[in-house]
């Protein structure tokens, strides 16, 4: 039986909607009938790799934010039933190294792979999941909104939890980029902390969206925003800055916006850096990166979503329109998260 899948086939070319064989689960594997799959700028990063550094097999089905219904169980699978509605934890580690043993499969020492980033993903009618431990039940949650909990929510959630003790009353936190991840970060900061949230992005529509998500202030993401942030903080600068864009200009802006003893967390995969020197950055500033998150944190997010504490803004596309969805993502026409619905 042939089914549809959006696959990256040739390096440097656009992905193609193709007919492929319906996958069949092997021992220990699970076949999902996909109900939703989130779009991510990481896919654009993958498509920008030149041949000499491209790390994944070809062809490869995109989609690392899967939601689906269990369709078939491979031999030996227990703990899940056919018909269960689930999302998929995307960090597939070895399961046995020190980081995996600690629950941090996102930091697997033997090399993490992911659906859509090394294995065939969820931009398809069906998808294979390698192990039952990577399934997270969602019950009655809308799969379209739940799919992107796996990255668009999980990634900022882990980044925020790392610096949560800093975000006490009277503090100011800057969120650079109020898009797919950033709009969730704003909600999480408002739910989890008393910090004042200042969102930076470009254009009136995106700034209005940031305010709608809960930002106390929304400013154009330009160099002069750092001066306004220092005005808002009595000259101190922000206590924490999250960069969800990750290009050199936003890294520079993050460093100019943060205060002495503050923290900058680089999350965006734009290929930029935060250039820190003893005399060129606020004293005692901490700069770190943050990659995805732990399965336990995804379980926490599912419970938060059920209680209405976090909600992902979505724009849906049928699988046949997946290429248009990527064009909209590239051009900044997606409010929140784009989601493919087969």
- What does the block give as tokens for 194? 């008393």
Provide the CATH number for the domain around residue 259: 3.40.50.720
State residue 45 phi and psi, 5-degree precision: -60, -45
Greatest Cα pair distance, the chain, in angstroms, is 65
Residue 271 has pLDDT above 90, yes or no: no
Residue 1 has pLDDT above 80, yes or no: no
Is the same domain home to 115 and 240? no
Tally Cβ neighbours within 10 Å of residue 37. Answer: 36
Comparing 37-51, 113-127, 145-159, 188-202, which segment has the lowest mean pLDDT? 37-51
What dihedral do alpha carbons 309, 310, 315, 316 form, nearest 10°? -80
Rounded CA-CA distance 49/59 in Å is 15
Average confidence score pLDDT of the chain: 96
Q: Is 103 left (phi over 0), alpha (psi -120 to 50) or beta?
A: left
Proportion of the chain in helix, strand, coil states, percent, rounded to 5: 30, 30, 45
Is the same domain home to 166 and 122? no
Rounded CA-CA distance 313/212 in Å is 11
State residue 151 phi and psi, 5-degree precision: -140, -55
Model confidence over 203-235: pLDDT tens digits? 999 999 999 999 999 999 999 999 999 999 999
Model confidence over 29-76: pLDDT tens digits? 999 999 999 999 899 999 999 999 999 999 999 999 999 999 999 999
CA distance to 49, 52, 148, per residue, from 12 (Å): 8, 12, 26
Is the same domain home to 47 and 144? yes
User: pTM of this prediction?
Assistant: 0.95
**What per-residue confidence (pLDDT) applies to 280?**
86
Residue 269 has pLDDT above 90, yes or no: no
Q: Which domain range does residue 131 map to?
A: 2-151+293-341
- What does the block give as tokens for 324? 């248009």
Domain termination site, one of 246, 261, 289: 289
Give the chain's end-to-end CA distance (angstroms, integer).
16
- Residue whose token pair is 């936003």: 250
Is the same domain home to 39 and 69? yes
Residue 310 has pLDDT above 80, yes or no: yes
Is the same domain home to 107 and 161? no
DSSP-derived secondary structure letter, 23 = P
**What per-residue confidence (pLDDT) applies to 162?**
96
Average pLDDT over residues 236-251: 96
Residue 277 has pLDDT above 90, yes or no: no
Domain termination site, one of 289, 310, 330: 289
Is the same domain home to 272 and 308? no
**What per-residue confidence (pLDDT) applies to 270?**
86
Rounded CA-CA distance 142/313 in Å is 12
Number of structural domains found in the chain: 2
Average pLDDT over residues 333-342: 94
State residue 259 phi and psi, 5-degree precision: -95, 175
- What does the block give as tokens for 127? 């998808």
Provide the CATH number for the domain around residue 63: 3.90.180.10
**What per-residue confidence (pLDDT) applies to 159?**
98
**What per-residue confidence (pLDDT) applies to 78?**
95
Is the same domain home to 331 and 233? no
322 and 17 Cβ atoms separated by less than 8 Å: yes
**What per-residue confidence (pLDDT) applies to 92?**
97
Average pLDDT over residues 303-321: 96
Is the same domain home to 158 and 276? yes
């Amino acid at each position: 039986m042939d089914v549809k899948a959006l696959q990256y086939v040739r390096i440097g070319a656009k992905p193609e909607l193709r007919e492929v064989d319906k996958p069949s689960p092997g021992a220990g594997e699970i076949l999902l009938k996909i109900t939703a799959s989130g779009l991510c700028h990481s896919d654009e990063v993958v498509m920008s790799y030149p041949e000499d550094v491209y790390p994944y097999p070809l062809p490869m089905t995109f989609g690392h934010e899967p939601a689906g219904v269990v369709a078939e169980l491979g031999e030996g699978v227990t703990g899940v039933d056919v018909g269960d509605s689930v999302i998929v934890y995307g960090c597939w580690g070895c399961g046995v190294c020190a980081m995996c043993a600690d629950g941090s499969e996102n930091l697997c020492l033997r090399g993490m792979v992911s659906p859509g980033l090394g294995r065939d993903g969820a931009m398809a009618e069906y998808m294979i999941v390698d192990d039952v431990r990577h399934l997270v039940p969602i019950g009655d949650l809308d799969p379209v909104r739940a799919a992107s909990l796996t990255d668009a929510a999980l990634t900022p959630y882990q980044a925020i939890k790392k610096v949560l003790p800093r975000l006490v009353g009277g503090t100011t936190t800057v969120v650079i980029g109020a898009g797919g991840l950033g709009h969730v970060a704003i909600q999480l900061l408002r739910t989890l902390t008393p910090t004042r949230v200042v969102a930076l992005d470009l254009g009136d529509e995106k700034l209005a969206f940031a305010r709608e998500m809960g930002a106390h202030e929304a400013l154009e993401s330009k160099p002069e925003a750092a001066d306004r942030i220092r005005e808002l903080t009595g000259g101190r600068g922000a206590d924490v800055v999250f960069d969800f864009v990750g290009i050199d200009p936003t890294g520079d802006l993050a460093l100019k916006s943060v205060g002495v003893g503050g923290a900058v967390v680089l999350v965006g995969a734009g290929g930029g850096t935060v250039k820190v020197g003893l005399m060129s950055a606020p004293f005692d500033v901490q700069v770190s990166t943050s990659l995805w998150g732990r399965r336990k944190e995804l379980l926490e997010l599912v419970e938060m979503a059920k209680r209405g504490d976090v909600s992902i803004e979505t724009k849906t596309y049928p699988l046949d329109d997946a290429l248009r969805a990527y064009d909209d993502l590239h051009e900044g026409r997606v409010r929140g998260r784009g989601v493919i619905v087969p």
